A and B are shown apart, each in its own frame.
Chain A
């Protein structure tokens, strides 16, 4: 049996599992289908209940992974096929082209400066975040290389002004590009790292265990839910997190995305969409603390901002969480036990009026706010279904990876040798992800030792 272990997902769970296994002495393939490791945590501003800066505590681990002789990072890479025979897994990976020579690129950014086309960023687009067609996933990305939006090639973004717009030759046919500005800029820097003609590369590996650490995502509210997607200033808690982040599209200024107005009154609606026909049937357990964190940080930015939280049941179940909630109250956050049922926008000011039933008084009341944040909860990653099929492991009725016997043998799946950890198992916070990652890594290295 090979000694190598495959970890699918390079978020905080995958990173921790990789470091544990590599420090233990086994080789790790750390695969992520995005362009950088880091996962959701790399995009957060702070972490509850201490308000540690998220990237500050994660990036040293990312560099450690990058420099670990026992870890091979494979970004932009998908798991395509998995076969198990004699206890060994044979895995077909597909490394999708970044159209960049990762060995040569130094992340200097010259290519991004010359790129003429900006498009909305996947994460920050709704709050005004733009990126170039050639871009860096985020400043601390590992590997620290740029990646090209595949739509850019072969004149597909012609109408948007892409520099290769007029070209009639399929990029994969050329071995150099006389037109593309990024190619030229990179050559001028003496690097020649941009390869528009790069193709996807398959790769086969053999491993003894697989850890699934594919994480979780924030639910996108349905159009119209409390005015989401209709009114300008209704955003999700994930978008608000990016608004607070110094590395986000507003450089950490808490302003309204469209009119750039500094918000003086902000409200959060907890459990947004829960219990609705298409909404989440379960509690995601972290949103209460996320809201507490976001209000505290908002107050740290500007103590004069009014903050309100409409909530129903308060979840302060973890270590230090209750004190954190108390801190939010001390900082002047107003908690209102309420059922909000309607939101409407003032067409002039773009302010939002929230109408709600106050559960303490039984009265119908109103509040006018300048930004409304929807705490929407955590849902399974959209890749779970495909991955479950490839790995032949089961999903639970909610779409998270199912543990065969969560009580007696936690983190084991129905396929012996495949383990899950972190957000792949359900809504979870960072510390629980790290715990599970350590446990899954123990199981992964122990497999086959008896």
Chain B
């Protein structure tokens, strides 16, 4: 690098928050002596408007091309300072943030000298990294306005309508000959006091879809292949034997679900009187059409037997080791029982259940069912009812948990409330889009709480029963919500990634494929020669690939090996035998460190922390280097399981640390001195305790 590096160091007093415990003038003086530092300044409140203005003046006046801020915490204040240096004409990636309030003054209040020494070290580390910083920029990837919706059920149609309303193009692919999905097989839908024939709802929605000029529907169509990523998808469809090629920008997955066949259970398959809830929905449709509502006799068309006694068994094949609660069985059984009673109130209906899962408004239907004379019998989970056949008659033996007795219920129609699983195309689509599914056969969203409508890969949204079984109301909400998620990049015309991204140098690459396989975001692609490349706009900068690359071909901009190494070496230049070198992830671990600071938890000042975006960024060679330089201990802190801002970074870190221990042991280092901790952003006490324990165990107090 031929550039003349001119570093400016701005140390903040934060009133007396820092200056009260750290000798700030001494830190400033010290900074001036550091390599490449041409300017150092003590500010009372660096984040105040006037101080920011004077910082900009100093940058210009002293021609600074690197800035180190030593103040509070990057978690809250980095954006402010980035903006400030940018306005001063400096690339914001040339700023390095050093935390001397949360990590020093607030946690070493009783040891001002040690605190000052630590602050100096942290500034030195910051300067060492700053010297190596390079300009960066946000990376944009253009995104068009064509959205592919896989699945033409209620979720897919709702999503398509919302996409189309914005003037974007929506394409619906449906493998069935008609739209409507599983709702086509349902008789009535009830919510609150509303009860509507499902066919009406499907028709109304289908009409809207067909009338919309921005929506193209492909029914009886399969997806042959999908290639690409957001903004660049190439879909090949097979519609009635014809091949269609489409260029697509974003994708919404709405493939729905199917009922599980309860083959061999409760005589299902052997006796036509035993049916599932969806089959019952079909019968109710027929009965409603034939008899209308009112007192009428109904027949099972298959068995031709007059129906007098209906028994419904809930939780068939659910709530056991293999499968959980089917989510919607209880309200469906109650709804269908009420429908039967509406056709003929003299029919006896029993619902046999384990737990009645009826929430909020569904309570209304439960009360209506009880008022209509529907009988509810609770059986224990370890003692399911049994079906017997005598003289051609079916009956159900059930143990009533509440009465503590067993009795026999005659049954002309036995309805099994079974669970659901994802559509049969789920595996194919998983392969096409490189997304994941769970053991129950549904797609797995990005985050179960905060990313319910997204996949980890940008530009692919998820909605409806393809995610898990849900009501029609929830399905439509998800359809609309997924449309929003897919619309944001289409509306902007691009997606943007922060400049902290991976960069692959192919010189030493041996095409092992580890980076491609491990990237949680599908941001690394391999071409026909198996050469990897990064789609930078999709990269989130976690650094997992860089730390795992056996040939060290991958650099993470702003967190490169050289930059981190410079920090390690600066930290351990003096008295390494007294020091703990720590790597903390930006999201949770640094949050915990900050929390310890805000809570003024006092702990020993031995640690020198290096911030990385994710604990998965920490390569073994840096840990090794720290021990080589004589560090008393090394600490790596990541997010508490299962939280990880980068989905699985902490798991990757855990595996790597195990490898690091083996490697260190071989080289003769004491692996007890390598510590790994998981700390949540709320858990200041845990970080403080880890510090205390570590200092005690290493005997460096």
**Distance between A120 CB and nearest chain B CB, rounded to angstroms:** 19
With an 8 A cutoff between CB atoms, is A247 at the interface? Answer: yes
Check if B685 sits within 8 Å of A251, measured CB to CB. yes
**Distance between B423 CB and nearest chain A CB, rounded to angstroms:** 16
Known: A252-B683, A319-B442, A446-B162. A50 touches B453 (CB 8 A): no
Bound-complex Cα distance A108 to B453 (A): 38
Check if A110 sits within 8 Å of B16, measured CB to CB. yes
With an 8 A cutoff between CB atoms, is A47 at the interface? Answer: yes
Residues of chain B within 8 A (CB-CB) of A304 are none
Residues of chain B within 8 A (CB-CB) of A247 are 595, 682, 684
Residue of B nearest to A314 (CB): B355
Of residues 318 through 377 on chain B, the ones whose CB sits less than 8 Å from some CB of chain A are: 319, 323-325, 327-328, 355-361, 363
- Report the contact-size class of chain B (Cβ under 8 Å from the partner): 35 or more
Q: Pick the residue among B14, B166, B468, B588 that contacts A446 (CB under 8 A).
A: B166
Check if B201 sits within 8 Å of A408, measured CB to CB. yes
With an 8 A cutoff between CB atoms, is A198 at the interface? Answer: no
With an 8 A cutoff between CB atoms, is B701 at the interface? Answer: no
Residues of chain B within 8 A (CB-CB) of A427 are 359-360
Check if B449 sits within 8 Å of A56, measured CB to CB. no
Check if B165 sits within 8 Å of A359, measured CB to CB. no
**Distance between A262 CB and nearest chain B CB, rounded to angstroms:** 16
With an 8 A cutoff between CB atoms, is B615 at the interface? Answer: no
Check if B15 sits within 8 Å of A189, measured CB to CB. yes
Residues of chain A within 8 A (CB-CB) of B361 are 282, 426
With an 8 A cutoff between CB atoms, is A364 at the interface? Answer: no
**Distance between A363 CB and nearest chain B CB, rounded to angstroms:** 10
Known: A53-B680, A436-B477. A60 touches B468 (CB 8 A): no
Check if B595 sits within 8 Å of A442, measured CB to CB. no
Residue of A nearest to B331 (CB): A317
With an 8 A cutoff between CB atoms, is B65 at the interface? Answer: no
**Distance between A431 CB and nearest chain B CB, rounded to angstroms:** 4
Known: A25-B491, A56-B587, A434-B449. A313 touches B481 (CB 8 A): no
Known: A246-B684, A449-B166. A439 touches B481 (CB 8 A): yes
Check if B682 sits within 8 Å of A55, measured CB to CB. yes
Residues of chain A within 8 A (CB-CB) of B551 are none
Known: A61-B450, A108-B15. A245 touches B682 (CB 8 A): yes
Residues of chain A within 8 A (CB-CB) of B324 are 316, 320-323
Known: A407-B191, A431-B449, A438-B480. A23 touches B488 (CB 8 A): yes
With an 8 A cutoff between CB atoms, is A331 at the interface? Answer: no
Known: A51-B642, A283-B363. A319 touches B467 (CB 8 A): yes
Residues of chain B within 8 A (CB-CB) of A190 are 15, 44-45
Residues of chain B within 8 A (CB-CB) of A16 are 450
Check if A438 sits within 8 Å of B485, measured CB to CB. yes
Check if B450 sits within 8 Å of A443, measured CB to CB. no
Interface residues of A, count at CB 8 A: 86
Q: Pick the residue among A56, A110, A319 that contacts B681 (CB under 8 A).
A: A56
Mark B165-198 against chain A: 1 for CB-CB distance below 8 A, else 0.
1100000000000000000000001011010100
Bound-complex Cα distance A362 to B189 (A): 38
Q: Pick the residue among A12, A25, A55, A104 that contacts B492 (CB under 8 A).
A: A25
Check if B359 sits within 8 Å of A315, measured CB to CB. yes
With an 8 A cutoff between CB atoms, is B598 at the interface? Answer: yes
Of residues 22 through 64 on chain A, the ones whose CB sits less than 8 Å from some CB of chain B are: 23-25, 45, 47, 49-61, 63
With an 8 A cutoff between CB atoms, is A285 at the interface? Answer: yes
With an 8 A cutoff between CB atoms, is B629 at the interface? Answer: no
Check if B325 sits within 8 Å of A57, measured CB to CB. no
Residues of chain B within 8 A (CB-CB) of A321 are 324-325
Bound-complex Cα distance A41 to B17 (A): 30
Check if A407 sits within 8 Å of B196, measured CB to CB. yes
Mark A61-80 against chain B: 1 for CB-CB distance below 8 A, else 0.
10100010000000000000
**Distance between A142 CB and nearest chain B CB, rounded to angstroms:** 9
With an 8 A cutoff between CB atoms, is B655 at the interface? Answer: no
Check if A282 sits within 8 Å of B685, measured CB to CB. no
Residues of chain B within 8 A (CB-CB) of A438 are 453, 480-482, 484-485
Of residues 322 through 338 on chain A, the ones whose CB sits less than 8 Å from some CB of chain B are: 322-323, 337
Residue of B nearest to A69 (CB): B83
The B interface, classified by DSSP as helix, strand, loop or mixed, is loop
The A interface, classified by DSSP as helix, strand, loop or mixed, is loop
Check if B452 sits within 8 Å of A431, measured CB to CB. yes
With an 8 A cutoff between CB atoms, is B48 at the interface? Answer: yes
Residue of A nearest to B480 (CB): A439
Of residues 69 through 110 on chain A, the ones whose CB sits less than 8 Å from some CB of chain B are: 103-104, 106, 108-110
Bound-complex Cα distance A398 to B477 (A): 22
With an 8 A cutoff between CB atoms, is A139 at the interface? Answer: yes
Most buried by A among B45, B491, B682: B682
Bound-complex Cα distance A337 to B44 (A): 62
Residues of chain A within 8 A (CB-CB) of B684 are 246-247
With an 8 A cutoff between CB atoms, is A225 at the interface? Answer: no
Residues of chain A within 8 A (CB-CB) of B191 are 406-407
Known: A55-B682, A57-B643, A446-B162. A316 touches B325 (CB 8 A): yes
Residues of chain A within 8 A (CB-CB) of B476 are 410, 439
Check if B480 sits within 8 Å of A191, measured CB to CB. no
Mark B394-429 against chain A: 1 for CB-CB distance below 8 A, else 0.
000000011010000000000000000000000000
Residues of chain B within 8 A (CB-CB) of A245 are 682
Residues of chain A within 8 A (CB-CB) of B598 are 109, 139
Check if A63 sits within 8 Å of B76, measured CB to CB. yes
Q: Pick the residue among A52, A362, A434 that contacts B643 (CB under 8 A).
A: A52
Bound-complex Cα distance A439 to B483 (A): 8
With an 8 A cutoff between CB atoms, is A441 at the interface? Answer: yes
With an 8 A cutoff between CB atoms, is A116 at the interface? Answer: no
Residues of chain A within 8 A (CB-CB) of B683 are 53, 246, 252
Check if B79 sits within 8 Å of A67, measured CB to CB. yes
With an 8 A cutoff between CB atoms, is B599 at the interface? Answer: yes
Of residues 422 through 462 on chain B, the ones whose CB sits less than 8 Å from some CB of chain A are: 438, 442, 447-453
Check if A320 sits within 8 Å of B327, measured CB to CB. no
Bound-complex Cα distance A317 to B165 (A): 34
Known: A318-B327, A407-B191. A24 touches B15 (CB 8 A): no
With an 8 A cutoff between CB atoms, is B474 at the interface? Answer: yes
With an 8 A cutoff between CB atoms, is A237 at the interface? Answer: no
Known: A139-B599, A322-B319. A441 touches B484 (CB 8 A): yes
Q: Pick the residue among A189, A285, A449 that contacts B165 (CB under 8 A).
A: A449
Bound-complex Cα distance A321 to B472 (A): 20
Residues of chain A within 8 A (CB-CB) of B404 are 362
Q: Pick the residue among B194, B355, B360, B480 that contacts A313 (CB under 8 A).
A: B355
Q: Pick the residue among B360, B380, B482 that contacts A282 (CB under 8 A).
A: B360
With an 8 A cutoff between CB atoms, is A435 at the interface? Answer: yes
Check if B76 sits within 8 Å of A144, measured CB to CB. yes
**Distance between B287 CB and nearest chain A CB, rounded to angstroms:** 23
Bound-complex Cα distance A437 to B487 (A): 15
Known: A191-B45, A247-B682. A406 touches B480 (CB 8 A): no
Residue of A nearest to B483 (CB): A442
Mark B78-113 against chain A: 1 for CB-CB distance below 8 A, else 0.
010000000000000000000000000000000000
**Distance between B646 CB and nearest chain A CB, rounded to angstroms:** 12
The 9 closest A-B pairs by CB, nearest first: A322-B324, A189-B15, A438-B481, A53-B680, A442-B484, A439-B480, A285-B359, A56-B681, A439-B481
Q: A106-B45, A318-B327 are in contact. List 13 more A-B contacts (CB 8 A).
A: A24-B484, A24-B487, A52-B449, A57-B449, A103-B49, A246-B680, A247-B595, A319-B442, A320-B324, A398-B360, A408-B201, A438-B484, A442-B484
20 contacts between A and B (CB under 8 A): A20-B484, A24-B488, A57-B447, A61-B450, A108-B17, A245-B682, A252-B683, A283-B359, A313-B355, A316-B324, A318-B468, A319-B468, A406-B194, A407-B189, A407-B196, A407-B473, A431-B448, A434-B451, A438-B484, A450-B165
By a beta-carbon cutoff of 8 Å, the part of chain A in contact with chain B is: 12, 16, 20, 23-25, 45, 47, 49-61, 63, 67, 103-104, 106, 108-110, 139-140, 144, 188-191, 245-247, 251-252, 281-285, 313-323, 337, 359-360, 362, 398, 405-408, 410-411, 426-427, 430-432, 434-439, 441-443, 445-446, 449-450
